[in-house]
Structure 1
Amino acid sequence: MRIVSFTIEGRPAYGVVEGEDVLFNPSPAWPDLRAVIEADALGRLADDVQGGRRVKLAAVTLLPVIPNPGKILCVGLNYETHRRETGRAVVENPTIFTRFADSQAAHGQPLLRPKVSTDFDYEGELAVVIGKGGRYIAREDAMSHVAGYSCYNDGSVRDFQRHTIQFTPGKNFPQTGAFGPWLVTADELPDLDRLRLTTRLNDQVVQDTTLDHMIFDVPRIIEYCSSFTPLRPGDVIASGTPGGVGAKRNPPLWMKPGDVVEVEISGIGVLRNGIADEQA
């Protein structure tokens, strides 16, 4: 099942994608997709939208898959190709940083190059959405805590990221990270290792890998993150990017206004965003 968050006629909504359409209940039982997940009601959603409205997906304005996550946890340096191109040391545990919800954009919405930098980079990633919360989740139980998956572009303002050893400033400019286009429920993707992640900038392939090349796989990431913070339904984990980032090319390949960046994951879909300059 593919589920989108969107606005229609000025109101937020969520629904189930069927072909070119989205089905949704204009008087929903839950206010947003995070609340559906918290209620453990994803399995009931297909029935809930029956008898509701059917509109063309192209006619709605998409929101980030989870517009209001309690936490966005991001994994750095999680592919060997990316670790090597950065020259970082091998580590025994995942490198974790955080994003704020207002740093996210939806599929089709422009990513904003901030006015204080031109070093705006792409990072195609798999997003994991937590379905069942928990603390100290064991690796062997971790996948039962996953609601589903989406595409993520962890857009990075590299000079601000490099100001100190902490990544936070370069990862949290408003509308720099993209999340979408939809949530694919976990039951539809039982074998993540087979999925291929490809990032394209202006139709040029700049990143390409399969998910089995992660250094720390999804169960290990969930196990580790839940050891230092309780994971809640609707929390998002961006699981890391492979090698090929723009900052490590010669010359560097930065995203600029007018560009189009796509993150595609087989079995999930394509997250597409144009690039524009921040107007603030």
Structure 2
Amino acid sequence: MRTWSCLIIAFIVGCVALPAQEDVLRPKGRPGAVESGKRKFSSRGLTWRLGLEAGINYSTTSRDVTGASLTSFFNTFASGSGILPLFGLYAEVAVSKSIAIGGRFLYDMKSVSGSKNDVVRDCSVLDGYGNVNVVQAEIAVDYTNTISYFTMNPLIRFSITDGFFAHLGPVIQVAVSDVESTVNQAIDPADACRFVDENGQFTLTSTSNTTTGTANPSTRFGLDIGLGYMIPLTSTIHLVPRVGYQYMFTEYDTSTSLLDNTQEITNPPARVVEISTGSLNSLQASLSLWFTL
């Protein structure tokens, strides 16, 4: 974490140093200006913008599940994806015709879901003579995990053409919610097996909702790269569609090791399953209103 903190500080210091560099083609103290549309950048003036941003996250996760059988319940959690909104503020200062430094400050909601329709587990049933037999039940399983972050994204904006630009900068995410998980299981109605609910009744479905507590790690670091276009509405207001990708170097949960005995009788033996930490990256699409001050 110390390494990433140093890199982020160096990034911000480097950005701040940009406007301090003297134009070697003009003697110190002499006024000058560069046209940028209808506005001018002077040697002593900067253009500031503030904005409101809202959009969606398409988040994906993946992890390694080793030691489990191909039809194990735990393979359900090997991958997932989902969509949730994001919203926040944008600020920048243009230091030249083509470069601005700024940041995005977001309430960043993430959701990932996955499913597996060929899960098999042991099931005890009674035959016509009252004897207990163990058979395999075929189960469809799906899960959803959700978590929210406060995301800080210091960045540099590079103007590519008139209105079209690229964003590049680090991402710092701080968890502001618990990790909530929902797991649903459903048995084929043609199957002889059933779940037993909290009232002792037989049922074809089972749902579990858990809150795993504060995210671990609670702080994540990554890189954001984006493309956008400034559509002028007035001389000081722009509508800005943007697409970007958050690639996170920090995982969003921890690894675990457990005993899988769901097929211990019909497909022995019980297996030790290793589940690695999961990645969590996001493709973002947003729409902003930028106000030039």
Q: Give the TM-score taking structure 1 as reference length.
A: 0.27
Rg larger in structure: 2
Structure number with the bigger relative contact order (C-alpha 8 A, sep ≥ 6) is 1
Looking at secondary structure, tell me which structure has more helix per residue: 1
Looking at secondary structure, tell me which structure has more strand per residue: 2
